Amino acid sequence: MSKPVIGIQMQKLPEQFYYRLSYKYTEAIYAAGGIPVMLPLIAEQDYVDHIWPLLDGLILSGCQTDLDPKRYGEAPHAKLGPVNETRDRFDWMLLERAHAEHVPVLGICRGFQTLNVYRGGTLIQDLPSQQPSEIKHSIEEPPEAFAHEVRLAPQTVLNHAAVEKTAQVNSLHHQAVKKLGKGLAPVAWAEDGVIEAFQSEDLAQHHVVGVQWHPERLWQADDFSLSIFKNFIAAVVAHKQG
């Protein structure tokens, strides 16, 4: 049986003249059983129409730009980071196709936030200034280090057990979910109440999962992180088989 093809967008800062993507993403996808395909940020319908039929699943990667707050009806906060309208527009085009065809989606960090806003949610634009906490959500290097604990909801895609559990995660974000998007259920929280993961309420019909941390940085030494990718690939295979 052929392996599922997973599309993942590359990144680009406004002043850069090249695309880039951490190899940690592609290695994690391949280790979990998928074939990664990197997507340049070509926010044109013709490009999406040509590339989309080749993909079986979609991962929205993290990046160093913030989502433009106009996407969720807010003015920019003073601490808002750089934005990339092309990335935002490209993400929306991909998500429109994924939702129309129930193609499985995994959102990571900025991709998690994008999924939330796409479904009508909003963001805290800067956690340190708008919602101060003893939890360090934006740690310094190395990104492979655990930063804090999250509580996992029982009987969810992240925790199949009937009792609540916890997991250690890394943390590289200054924004967070404020209002949860339509059809999303929270499945993990930091100790300060920040939503760290969600899944679609209709998971069996459309597998949509988002995590605020970076499991692609941890999977080689952390079974929990690897399971996030394996569960996603399993959902892609199931969808592909109909």
Q: Which residues are catalytic?
A: 109, 214, 216
In degrees and rounded to multiples of 5, residue 123 shows phi and psi of -125, 150
DSSP for the chain reads -PPPEEEEE-B--TT-SS-B--HHHHHHHHHTT-EEEEE-----HHHHHHHGGG-SEEEE---SSBPPGGGGT-PPPTT---B-HHHHHHHHHHHHHHHHHT--EEEETHHHHHHHHHTT--EES-HHHHS--SS-SB--S-TTS--EEEEEPSSBTTB-SSS-EEEEE--B-S-EESSPPTTEEEEEEETTS-EEEEEETTTTTS-EEEESS-GGGTTTT-HHHHHHHHHHHHHHHHHHH-
CA distance 55 to 202: 22
CA distance 90 to 41: 6
